[in-house]
């Protein structure tokens, strides 16, 4: 049974008793030889025999027991992959302009890309990881000895005692179990903070188990990072007093999950600042963070979906609304001239449809893509911003993780989807910024930019027409990222990718391909994956990265030729997609 269904084990286990006999049943020797590398099943979704794959987690009143008799479970902790823990986190919150840095610390080879069963070679890989074996030994030993006192010590006794019926009610719902991706956030004492699906209140046992897993591994001076199971993965991130967990049944890479969790973490920090989070838990270890986050679940929900299907976020880059550079410059100059005298104003951002129209910044401050994504997410997830001028504190972790900026947020007009954000460090500046906004509107109306913005947003210049004209109509969708500028250009999602499910399916393919390449060593530069629905191509060059979906049956060489042509076209049109220089305020 795949790990993603661990909950069903939990719910169906008779009586929720600890079954100590099962724990010692696994000898270290068995694990060291049998546990294959985590990615062994990448691209190989063949069903695994039940008993060979079970990672059982049983819960019994205030203790949690884990048995791992399984052959196909692998646990990755930070001592095994020293780079993965902290470095993967850093790499993503800044930018991934040099994703190759990551590749070394992650999976050792481009695994399973062709769907071949490569388990043989994984064993070899695993042999080289003596410390992982050691970690697993510790893990088992600690399960029995440490789990019980830990759980009861932590004031969480009540939370961990869960009626059987509670479990049945919540975890066993088909819909909940059927979800392909889960994200959980909890405090280090095991208090629920967030669950992507279902209500956290009903999942206390599960949260308790996650907390126990983390602390068991921590007790052996190690850090749990991921658990692998067939094509399922559970990824853990411990960030001070906060634990974030992603569960995926979609073949997602650890990197992908980790990046997603980092976004969730940044979103939480963005609402509260790190300083607040830290000091709250310093004062009260079992504080219920939901009190302070109330109302932000919406932002996290939206961010998760955004991360999975919004090209610029997916590629950790920035997208602009395509428009002739002269037009963009006149928009920018209107903004700059209205704002240049305002002290303490750090950024002026004009966005629409999850893309930038213009960005101006104070000299000496750049905007990191992931900070921009938090802004885009807030705008996209908050209908209420359309009804009034808003004034809100927002922490941009890469600007200042411990402090707030104050954002004046307003739409350009009732019927205009362009939203202006003026971000300052001065919380008393609302009226000054409100005035600046009025001036900007006036200027944009006067120099006709407003009309132009409206036109562009209503009828974006069709990329399809251009693709057609170029003879590239067999290209259904693409995402192009310039490595130097992090600028992402993508075609709109239209049939057959217009529904969320279809888009999700395509992006999952992109992601699997992309991560396996980023992880590859030596670097793989081209990957071509065919299926009945489409062929997906991923190309990494020094200058750019591109992901393309083409019609099925298109021959590889033809696809590559088309992509070359497409890239040439994007580069020749750079002016429309790129902001050549970010103006200063």
Partner 1 sequence: MANRSGPQRPNGTAQAKICQFKLVLLGESAVGKSSLVLRFVKGQFHEFQESTIGAAFLTQTVCVDDTTVKFEIWDTAGQERYHSLAPMYYRGAQAAIVVYDVTNQDTFGRAKTWVKELQRQASPNIVIALAGNKADLANKRSVELEEAQAYAEENQLLFMETSAKTAKNVNEVFLAIAKKLPKNDQNVNPSVPVNITAWLTICVLRAGHF
295 touches partner 1 by CB under 8 A: yes
Answer for the pair 517, 508: CB distance below 8 angstroms, yes or no.
no
To which residue do tokens 């009610």 refer?
A: 169
Taking contact as CB under 8 A, which single stretch among the options 293-301, 458-466, 529-537, 566-574 is the one that binds partner 1? Answer: 293-301
DSSP-based three-state secondary structure for 424: strand
User: Of 75 and 378, which CB lies nearer to partner 1 in the complex structure?
Assistant: 378
For 440-460, letters b (16+ CB in 10 Å) and e give: bbebbeeeebbebbbebbeee
Q: Which two tokens stand for residue 99?
A: 């994703």
294 touches partner 1 by CB under 8 A: yes
291 touches partner 1 by CB under 8 A: yes
Provide the minimum distance between the beta carbon of 179 and partner 1 in the complex, in angstroms, as a whole number: 23
The CA distance from 119 to 168, in Å, is 36
Q: Which of 69, 198, 393, 496 binds partner 1 (CB under 8 A)?
A: 393
User: Of 385 and 503, which CB lies nearer to partner 1 in the complex structure?
Assistant: 385
User: Of 123 and 302, which CB lies nearer to partner 1 in the complex structure?
Assistant: 302
Residues 6+ away with beta carbon under 8 Å from 548: 475, 477, 478, 479, 536, 537, 538, 539, 559, 562, 563, 566
Q: Which of 121, 180, 392, 526 binds partner 1 (CB under 8 A)?
A: 392
Provide the minimum distance between the beta carbon of 392 and partner 1 in the complex, in angstroms, as a whole number: 3
Q: DSSP assignment, residue 584?
A: B
Taking contact as CB under 8 A, which single stretch among the options 61-69, 294-302, 316-324, 349-357 is the one that binds partner 1? Answer: 294-302
To which residue do tokens 């070679």 refer?
A: 121
User: Of 387 and 557, which CB lies nearer to partner 1 in the complex structure?
Assistant: 387
Q: Which of 52, 131, 292, 413 binds partner 1 (CB under 8 A)?
A: 292
- Packed helices 325-339 and 430-446: angle between N→C axes, nearest 10 degrees: 140
Residues 6+ away with beta carbon under 8 Å from 254: 38, 76, 84, 88, 106, 107, 225, 226, 233, 235
Provide the minimum distance between the beta carbon of 390 and partner 1 in the complex, in angstroms, as a whole number: 5
277 touches partner 1 by CB under 8 A: no
298 touches partner 1 by CB under 8 A: yes
Tell me the three-class secondary structure of 264-275, residue by residue.
HHHHHHHHHCHH
493 touches partner 1 by CB under 8 A: no
Provide the minimum distance between the beta carbon of 389 and partner 1 in the complex, in angstroms, as a whole number: 4
Answer for the pair 219, 61: CB distance below 8 angstroms, yes or no.
no
Strand duo 405-413 + 355-361: pairing? unpaired
Backbone φ and ψ for 419, nearest 5 degrees, come out as -120, 130
User: Of 47 and 428, which CB lies nearer to partner 1 in the complex structure?
Assistant: 428
Size of residue set near partner 1 by CB under 8 A: 25
Taking contact as CB under 8 A, which single stretch among the options 33-41, 105-113, 249-257, 388-396 is the one that binds partner 1? Answer: 388-396
Taking contact as CB under 8 A, which single stretch among the options 41-49, 61-69, 231-239, 285-293 is the one that binds partner 1? Answer: 285-293
Pick out residues in 394-453 that bind partner 1 (CB under 8 A). Answer: 407, 427-428, 430, 434
Q: Following DSSP, what letter does each residue of 318-366 receive, concatenated?
A: B-B----HHHHHHHHHHHHHHHTT-TTEEEEEEEETTEEEEEEE-TT--
179 touches partner 1 by CB under 8 A: no
Q: Which residues bind partner 1 (CB under 8 A)?
A: 271-272, 291-295, 298, 378, 382-385, 387-393, 407, 427-428, 430, 434
């Amino acid at each position: 049974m795949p790990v993603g269904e661990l909950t069903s084990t939990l719910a169906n286990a008779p009586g929720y008793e600890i079954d100590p006999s099962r724990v010692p049943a696994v000898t270290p020797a068995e694990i060291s030889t049998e546990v294959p590398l985590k990615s062994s099943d990448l691209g190989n979704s063949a069903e695994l025999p039940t008993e060979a794959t079970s990672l059982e987690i049983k819960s019994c009143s205030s203790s949690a027991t884990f048995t791992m008799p399984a052959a196909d479970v692998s646990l990755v902790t930070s001592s095994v992959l020293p780079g993965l823990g902290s470095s993967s986190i850093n790499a993503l919150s800044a930018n991934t302009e040099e994703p190759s840095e990551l590749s070394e610390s992650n999976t050792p080879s481009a695994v399973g890309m062709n769907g071949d069963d490569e388990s043989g070679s994984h064993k070899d890989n695993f042999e080289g990881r003596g410390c992982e074996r050691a970690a697993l030994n510790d893990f088992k030993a600690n399960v029995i000895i440490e789990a019980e006192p830990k759980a009861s010590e932590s004031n969480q006794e009540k939370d961990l005692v869960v009626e059987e019926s509670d479990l049945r009610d919540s975890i066993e719902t088909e819909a909940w179990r059927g979800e392909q991706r889960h994200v959980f956030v909890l405090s280090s004492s095991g208090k629920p903070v967030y669950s992507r699906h279902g209500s956290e209140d009903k999942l206390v046992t599960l949260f308790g188990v996650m907390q126990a897993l983390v602390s068991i591994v921590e007790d052996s001076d190690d850090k749990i990072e991921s658990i692998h199971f067939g094509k399922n993965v559970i990824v853990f991130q411990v960030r001070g007093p906060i634990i974030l967990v992603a569960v995926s049944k979609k073949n997602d890479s650890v990197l992908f999950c980790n990046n997603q969790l980092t976004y969730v973490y940044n979103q939480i920090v963005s609402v509260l600042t790190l300083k607040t989070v830290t000091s709250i838990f310093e004062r009260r270890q079992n504080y219920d963070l939901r009190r302070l986050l109330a109302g932000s679940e919406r932002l996290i929900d939206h961010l998760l979906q955004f991360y999975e299907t919004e090209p610029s976020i997916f590629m950790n880059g920035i997208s602009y609304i395509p428009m002739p550079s002269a037009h963009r410059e006149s928009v920018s100059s209107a903004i700059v001239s209205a704002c240049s005298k305002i002290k303490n104003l750090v950024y002026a951002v004009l966005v629409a449809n999850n893309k930038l129209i213009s960005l101006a910044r104070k000299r000496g401050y750049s905007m990191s893509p992931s900070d921009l994504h938090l802004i885009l997410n807030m705008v996209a997830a908050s209908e209420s911003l359309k009804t009034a001028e808003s004034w809100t504190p927002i922490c941009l972790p890469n600007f200042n993780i411990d402090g707030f900026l104050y954002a004046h947020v307003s739409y350009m007009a009732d019927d205009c989807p362009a939203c202006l954000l003026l971000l300052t460090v001065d919380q008393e500046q609302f009226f000054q910024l409100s005035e600046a906004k009025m001036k900007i509107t006036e200027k944009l109306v006067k120099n006709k930019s407003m009309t132009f913005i409206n036109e562009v947003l209503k009828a974006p210049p069709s990329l399809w027409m251009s693709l057609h004209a170029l003879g590239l109509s067999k290209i259904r969708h693409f995402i192009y990222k310039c490595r130097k500028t992090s600028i992402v250009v993508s075609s709109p999602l239209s049939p057959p990718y217009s529904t969320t499910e279809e888009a999700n399916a395509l992006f999952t393919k992109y992601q699997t391909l992309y991560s396996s390449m980023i992880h590859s060593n030596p670097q793989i530069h081209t990957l071509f994956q065919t299926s009945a629905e489409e062929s997906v191509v991923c190309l990494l060059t020094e200058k750019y990265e591109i992901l393309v979906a083409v019609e099925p049956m298109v021959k590889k060489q033809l696809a590559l030729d088309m992509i070359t042509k497409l890239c040439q076209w994007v580069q020749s049109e750079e002016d429309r997609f790129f902001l050549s220089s970010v103006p200063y305020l």
